[in-house]
Amino acid sequence: MSEVKETKHDLSGSLNVPFGPQHPILIEPVQVTLYSKGENVINAKISTGYIHRGIEKAMEGRDFHSAVHLAERVCGICNTSHALAYCLAVENSLGIKPTDRASLLRVMWAELNRIHSHLLWLGAFADVMGFEALFMQFWRIRELVLSAVELTSGNRIIPSTITVGGVRRDVNEEMVQQVRVLLSKLETEFKKAAPLIEGNYTVKKRTVNIGFCSKDVAIKTSAVGPMVRGSGVESDIRTTKYSGYSFFDYKPIVDEGCDCYARTIVRLKELEVSVKMVSEVLDLLPSHKDDILIKPDKWPEEIGLSRIEAPRGELFYYVKGNGTKHLGRVRIRVPTYANIPSLLAILPGCRIADVPVILLTIDPCMGCAERVVEA
């Protein structure tokens, strides 16, 4: 791998352009300070801290069972991923392993969460480029997956089904058949909408060779998720077969384009794969009649770690037990935090008009990135 050298930018005579924290196309409160000469960006710096919540410390103040509800609220969109990562870390500390049925149900809700997240992102992506009708179309399709989540969990956005030791709710055959119908409708509607992004002339003019992030830069800056896979790197934590993913031979979706268009295509294809994976889970459930919950009979005493593939990329949880019902430490490393260095590396050299599209293709979630104790 070639070395990525730090570039010294001559800022003399440049114009300081603050982008955010409030802007019509920004879906997250973050400020990117752009240094430009004419229409060209020559350097960029990021300022965060607008929605800092100190949620890690709050989790340490709750008993380890109820802290899962706080983990779900680190990110409203990736809530299932946070619940899964937290519970896996605590289970690792306790030395327990959920049943196969519970693990499969976890995969079902995790992949429904990924579909929901990618459809939400596709709508926001269309909105940034001015395609208001397409924005509404993707979010209309998203209602189908939210209906599936509500059907199986009772809630549309935050299912609250995953808990330490397994899951809180099971699904019956009637629910399974209804989910199949919803997924079939979703797949049909998505196939109609996807060509309006993939291969679209206007979309390609706004994304091809824009926000170029080479494979070397993606690796050097520790990019994760669709950001790194859009640069041709086969990096997906699902291949480690954690939880119920041990039942699947998953191959990461990658694209060699290294630009905004490549990262968009990765999400389009991942959405299709997730729909198929949920269908496969529904096929496997009848042959696994295990209990859905193993109740812990002790308090966490050891360090527990977990790595999962959230919709935005690798999500890492560290928990430290102290022999009481409260955890001594909780530490979270979220995908947005990992992708910020990549964003700052690819902004210099672009046009100011391209910044919104480039920023959106890392799928930023500042609620995740600012959850730490320190501001």
- What is residue 374's predicted lDDT score, i.e. its pLDDT? 42
Asked whether residue 113 is assigned to any structural domain, the reply reads: yes
- What is residue 351's predicted lDDT score, i.e. its pLDDT? 93
Structure tokens at 334: 């979220």
**Cα distance between residue 258 and residue 227, in whole Å:** 9
Asked whether residue 265 is assigned to any structural domain, the reply reads: yes
Asked whether residue 266 is assigned to any structural domain, the reply reads: yes
* Dihedral sign for Cα atoms in the order 161, 272, 309, 289: positive
**Cα distance between residue 29 and residue 364, in whole Å:** 10
Domain of residue 147 covers: 15-369
Selection from 298, 244, 248, 236 nearest residue 91 by Cα: 298
Asked whether residue 1 is assigned to any structural domain, the reply reads: no
Structure tokens at 371: 């959850």
Q: How many domains does the chain have?
A: 1
- What is residue 367's predicted lDDT score, i.e. its pLDDT? 79
Q: How far is CA 214 from CA 6, 160, 345, 369, in A?
A: 15, 39, 10, 24
Average pLDDT per consecutive 10 residues, the chain (375 residues; last block may be shorter): 47 80 79 90 88 86 94 92 97 96 98 97 92 94 97 94 96 97 97 92 94 96 96 96 94 96 97 97 95 94 96 96 94 93 94 92 85 46
- What is residue 371's predicted lDDT score, i.e. its pLDDT? 64
* CATH code of the domain containing 182: 1.10.645.10
- What is residue 3's predicted lDDT score, i.e. its pLDDT? 38
Asked whether residue 8 is assigned to any structural domain, the reply reads: no
- What is residue 2's predicted lDDT score, i.e. its pLDDT? 35
Asked whether residue 225 is assigned to any structural domain, the reply reads: yes
- What is residue 5's predicted lDDT score, i.e. its pLDDT? 42
pTM across the whole model: 0.93
Q: How far is CA 302 from CA 189, 250, 275, 328, in A?
A: 47, 31, 37, 10
Asked whether residue 4 is assigned to any structural domain, the reply reads: no
Residue 159 CA to its chain's centroid (Å): 16
Q: What are the residue ranges of helices labelled H in 73-172?
A: 79-94, 100-128, 132-153
Asked whether residue 3 is assigned to any structural domain, the reply reads: no
